[in-house]
């Protein structure tokens, strides 16, 4: 049995800089606020009919532990009859949460589910409490560079000499400019759930926009930044995503259930795929995962009219685009900017891509198919192909 899985809606908190806006806010409270915001703006959703909740976190300890999929659901006010669980595929956690519940929906086990992710990188620095098996390095299963994401990005520059630092900086600048333009038009704010935060100096406040974007970025400023992962390297804080705090949540359903309840349909899931690559060049992961997903769907890259590629590093996005013969500044790619500007709170980012793609679908009915894709630590990539429910015929 296989049924069509649809994205009904998705929202997120604003993303804060690590140790800044949400320094005194718990990770689970960020997620709870996002969940409540999603429910509030979907009054036709009977919360007692939600069949499951899948929540991702890359670090599942402290305020991101205790099976946050279940604990946050209870705290958000879902009935105690609604179960929940936790997911971990590092950066692709929320993407995996979405594909996991999609599998449940497609086989008929459930009809409605919440899927999302949270990462409070201020409370949980990358690698916190990790204990890598010594054999990883002693038996040369991976190179030491594989354990540091910035070092893997430098390795990607090594592999593709045509991707220069100037190219990466240019891509990063464009991400900032596209984000600034989207903010000026009010396009990003509409899917942000204003979130309370407390500052010891200012007291309580409401965070309603992302903290990371730097609209005054220039090529000269980017060129002057240090390269912390390698002397004379190419990866900087300017052409990489930030260290952030934030949460995302999506509502997925069977197409029949969505129609029965009068819920909107923002995208239809076609298929998805995950793939592995050498951990030392983990940023290349979206290439094989996209090749795999396209093959499953019986599509080619020419059939894709909209791309949301997570910008962990500029070099990683450019490597993906170069493989598929897509220009660095192709208008189909990340039209609202990306993680280089707004941030990348690890496990939450997959749903942010879905939010943006759904908005592109609304405004481009000539586009039939789009993808959300991202690289994943220790050498993986994940890709989901979506169909535009507003498609009216046209080029793709």
Catalytic residue among 91, 124, 157, 364: 91
381 within 8 A of 275, measured Cβ to Cβ: yes
Please confirm, yes or no, whether 364 is among the known catalytic residues: no
**Chain centroid to CA 12:** 11
Cα–Cα distance, 344 to 310 (Å, whole number): 8
Please confirm, yes or no, whether 124 is among the known catalytic residues: no
Written in H, E and C, the secondary structure of the chain is: CCCCEEEEEEEECCCEECCCCCCCCCHHHHHHHHHHHHHHCCCCCCHHHCCEEEEECCCCCHHHCCCHHHHHHHHCCCCCCCCCEEECCHHHHHHHHHHHHHHHHHCCCCCEEEEEEEEECCCCCCCCCCCCCCHHHHCCCCCHHHHCHHHHHHHHHHHCCCCCHHHHHHHHHHHHHHHHHHHHCCCCHHHECCEEEEECCCEEEEECCCCCCCCCCCHHHHHCCCCCCCCCCCCCCCCECCCEEEEEEEEEEEHHHHHHHCCCCCEEEEEEEEEECCHHHHHHCHHHHHHHHHHHHCCCHHHEEEEEECCCEHHHHHHHHHHCCCCCCCCCECCCCCHHHHCCCHHHHHHHHHHHHHHHHHHCCCCCEEEEEEEECCCEEEEEEEECCCCCCCCC
Angle formed by the axes of helices 68-75 and 27-40, to 10°? 60
7 within 8 A of 95, measured Cβ to Cβ: no
Cα–Cα distance, 387 to 298 (Å, whole number): 13
Nearest Cα to 192, choosing from 32, 12, 2, 365?
Answer: 12
Catalytic residue among 120, 344, 364, 390: 344
Positive or negative CA dihedral for 232, 178, 98, 74?
positive
Catalytic residue among 120, 157, 364, 375: 375
Catalytically active residues are: 91, 344, 375
């Amino acid at each position: 049995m296989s049924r069509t899985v649809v994205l009904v809606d998705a929202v997120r908190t604003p993303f804060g800089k690590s140790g800044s806006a949400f320094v005194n806010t718990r990770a689970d409270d960020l997620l709870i606020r996002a969940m409540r915001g999603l429910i509030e703006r979907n009054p036709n959703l009977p919360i007692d009919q939600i069949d499951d909740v899948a929540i991702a976190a890359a670090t599942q300890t402290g305020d991101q532990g205790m099976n946050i999929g279940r604990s946050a659901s209870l705290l958000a006010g879902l009935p105690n009859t609604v179960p929940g669980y936790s997911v971990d595929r590092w950066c692709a956690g929320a993407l995996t949460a979405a594909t996991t519940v999609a599998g449940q929906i497609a086989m008929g086990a459930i009809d409605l589910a919440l899927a999302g992710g949270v990462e409070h990188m201020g409370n949980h620095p990358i690698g916190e409490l990790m204990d890598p098996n010594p054999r990883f390095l002693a038996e040369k299963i991976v190179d030491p560079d594989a354990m540091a994401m910035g070092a893997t990005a430098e390795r990607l520059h090594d592999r593709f000499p045509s991707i220069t630092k100037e190219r990466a900086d240019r891509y990063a600048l464009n991400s900032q400019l596209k984000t600034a333009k989207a903010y000026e038009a009010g396009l990003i704010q509409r899917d942000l759930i204003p979130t309370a935060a407390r500052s010891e100096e200012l007291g309580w406040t409401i965070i309603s926009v992302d903290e990371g974007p730097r609209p005054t970025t220039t090529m000269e400023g980017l060129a002057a930044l240090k390269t912390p992962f390698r002397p004379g390297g190419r990866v900087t804080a300017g052409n990489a995503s930030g260290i952030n705090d934030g949460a995302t949540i999506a509502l997925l359903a069977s197409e029949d259930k969505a129609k029965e309840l009068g819920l909107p349909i923002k995208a239809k899931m076609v298929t998805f795929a995950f793939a592995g690559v050498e951990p030392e060049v983990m940023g290349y992961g979206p290439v094989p995962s996209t090749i795999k997903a396209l093959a499953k769907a019986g599509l080619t890259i020419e059939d894709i009219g909209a791309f949301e590629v997570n910008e962990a590093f500029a070099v990683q996005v450019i490597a993906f685009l170069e493989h598929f013969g897509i220009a660095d500044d192709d208008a189909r790619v990340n039209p609202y900017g990306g993680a280089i500007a707004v941030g990348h709170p690890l496990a939450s980012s997959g749903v942010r891509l879905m939010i943006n793609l759904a908005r592109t679908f609304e405004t481009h009915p000539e586009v039939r198919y789009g993808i959300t894709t991202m690289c994943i630590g220790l050498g993986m990539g994940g890709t989901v192909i979506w169909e535009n429910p507003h498609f009216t015929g046209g080029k793709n």
